[in-house]
Amino acid sequence: MRRHRNVKIVATLGPASEDYDTIRALHEAGADVFRLNMSHSDGAHEGIVDKHRIIRQVEKDLNSPIAILADLQGPKLRVGVFANEEEELQNGAAFRLDLDEAEGDVTRVCLPHPEIFAALEPGSSLLVNDGKIRLKVTECGKDFADCVVVAGGTISNRKGVNVPDVMLPLAALSEKDRADLEFVCELGVDWLALSFVQRPEDVNEARELCNGRAAILSKIEKPSAVERFNGILAASDGIMVARGDLGVELPVQNVPPIQKRLVRTCRAAAKPVIVATQMLESMIDSPMPTRAEVSDVATAIYEGADAIMLSAESAAGSYPIEAVTTMDNVAREVEDDPTYTQIIEASRKASRTSVADGIVAAAREIAETTDIKAICCFTQSGTTALLTARERPRVPILALSSEMDTARRLGLSWGVNCVMTERLDRFKMAVLNAARAARTQGYASALDQIVVTAGVPFNVPGTTNILRVAPCQESLIYSTDRG
């Protein structure tokens, strides 16, 4: 299914989008990747199985590879319960967090996480209920933290707690996450998103458990992850800029420059990056977004993000298909803007150190200086397509692969349109297949030319070493190719 844009759209599935007709309509409207949120599975996987089955049926019916992203919950830090279910904390009041399981009141509540107390120091901040309540630690020990209320408000049962300015001795994978990881990998998802990543070791642990069954995407939602971003990126296959939690744990004005920096760093590394959270939040209840939301989506596209994501808008909102359609329309309009091309090309600063880097850079330059309709790259592992996407060419990228897992995973990458092909062992057959795909997919006519990149010997990952400008007319390929 050809998209008339390069940025990809990730749509989260939920109660508003769990039947065949809706999921198919979401894909036809523009959703390239479907996200399964494991935070809502509560240990019951039947709903996840049903959604996965429907996505694969839509994929088969439309002959269109679809990527599935399973998003693990990560460890959840929450306070206990209150005798009155909620209390009102006043600015300047004293408030204690401890390990006492007794019901809380206006002076204290249980925080059943001894690992937090082990990491706290006087002066540390604690944020409750998405940062609406802010506490500052005045004194602490192994089983308590005495705090002063910096920003008061209503605190109630089991509200979440963020600890922004200390490195918590917590694994990124809880027991629930481990069970969910094994389940979705066996089920057959393409990407696995890790929550609460603080260090590269968190990613390495998940990769070992995945054992090649899914690509690893790290969610950047903590200050410690921003500080260690280069190491986390090196250990990951992709990144999600999770602006919701990031905006809670950091001053909100810090988030936009961080977003821009992370997107550019990911692009330079040829690894896909998603910008996520509250992109069209008002469309949960409204068929129209706000102007500010449209501008936010556009900004992520101008920055060169590989994908933009819908969360509750498509999972639980009243207008899931309209939300995807809106994102698709905004993306098309932005990418048609000459300023977009100028910004993208001005930010092209990739370090080229390999033959493959040189091949894909040459493919882009040839395509942009002559009348080339598409860059067709044969890829087994996906690396060639990722390097081509890093170049952000002005012409479409057609990735041809005999590996369905590769084609699906590339659904997250900027501008990459995936087509399945049989395994090949001769370059002439690669050129013929590329020409046929370009014609049948509507990227070129028999009178046009394409650029074909591949690796010889075939079917060996990481061997991109050949480039050819080829006609799309098969008789001309036969007459000019002696291979």
* Residue 408 dihedral angles phi and psi, to the nearest 5°: -65, -45
CA distance linking residue 464 with residue 462, whole number of Å = 6
The residues, ordered by sequence, that sit 6+ positions from 475 with a Cβ below 8 Å of its Cβ are: none
Mean pLDDT of the region 407-422: 95
- How far out from the chain centre does Cα 449 lie? 33
Could you give the 3-state DSSP secondary structure of residue 351? coil
Pairing of strands 215-220, 307-310: unpaired
Where residue 442 falls (left for φ over 0; alpha for ψ -120 to 50; beta otherwise) is left
Is a pLDDT exceeding 70 seen at residue 482? no
CA distance linking residue 295 with residue 172, whole number of Å = 33
| Per-residue pLDDT, 478 | 65
The residues, ordered by sequence, that sit 6+ positions from 42 with a Cβ below 8 Å of its Cβ are: none
Could you give the 3-state DSSP secondary structure of residue 372? strand
Is a pLDDT exceeding 60 seen at residue 366? yes
CATH superfamily of 355-480: Pyruvate kinase, C-terminal domain (3.40.1380.20)
Is a pLDDT exceeding 70 seen at residue 479? no
Count of Cβ atoms closer than 10 Å to residue 102 Cβ:
12
Residue 78 DSSP one-character state:
B
What are the tens digits of pLDDT across the range 250-293?
A: 999 999 999 999 999 999 999 999 999 999 999 999 999 999 99
Active site residue 78: yes
8-75+172-337 carries CATH number 3.40.50.1000:
no
Helix (H) / strand (E) element for 64: namely none
Pick the closest to residue 207 from 192, 187, 229 (CA basis).
Answer: 192
What percent of the chain lies above the pLDDT cut of 70? 97
| Per-residue pLDDT, 1 | 75
Is a pLDDT exceeding 90 seen at residue 372? yes
Contact status, residue 73 vs residue 180, Cβ threshold 8 Å: yes
State the number of CA atoms in the 13 A half-sphere of 147 facing the CB.
31
| Per-residue pLDDT, 43 | 58
What are the tens digits of pLDDT across the range 122-146?
A: 999 999 998 999 999 999 999 999 9
| Per-residue pLDDT, 427 | 86
Is a pLDDT exceeding 60 seen at residue 234? yes
192: its two tokens: 């696995």
Active site residue 277: yes
Is a pLDDT exceeding 90 seen at residue 456? no
| Per-residue pLDDT, 42 | 62
What are the tens digits of pLDDT across the range 66-84?
A: 999 999 999 889 999 999 9
125-160 as b/e, with b when 16 or more CB fall inside 10 Å? bbbbbebebbbebeebeeebbbbebeebeebbeebe
Helix (H) / strand (E) element for 223: namely helix 223-227
Report the CATH fold assignment for 86-162. Answer: M1 Pyruvate Kinase; Domain 3 (2.40.33)
Select which of 24, 35, 373, 408 is catalytic. 35
Select which of 12, 277, 379, 464 is catalytic. 277
| Per-residue pLDDT, 130 | 87
Mean pLDDT of the region 380-401: 94
Select which of 78, 96, 199, 332 is catalytic. 78
Is a pLDDT exceeding 90 seen at residue 474? no
* Residue 388 dihedral angles phi and psi, to the nearest 5°: -65, -40
Select which of 219, 267, 271, 439 is catalytic. 219
User: Hey, which bits of 142-225 come out as E strands?
Assistant: 144-151, 153-156, 161-162, 191-194, 215-220
Q: Which of 37-51, 179-193, 224-238, 295-309 has the lowest mean pLDDT?
A: 37-51
Contact status, residue 164 vs residue 249, Cβ threshold 8 Å: yes
pLDDT-based confidence at residue 483 (cuts at 50, 70, 90): very low
| Average pLDDT value over all residues in the chain | 93
CA pseudo-torsion sign 33, 34, 38, 44? negative
- What residue spans define the domains of the chain? 8-75+172-337, 86-162, 355-480
Q: Cα-Cα-Cα-Cα dihedral of 260, 37, 156, 143, to 10°?
A: -80
Helix (H) / strand (E) element for 202: namely helix 200-210
Is a pLDDT exceeding 80 seen at residue 164? yes
CA distance linking residue 419 with residue 467, whole number of Å = 19
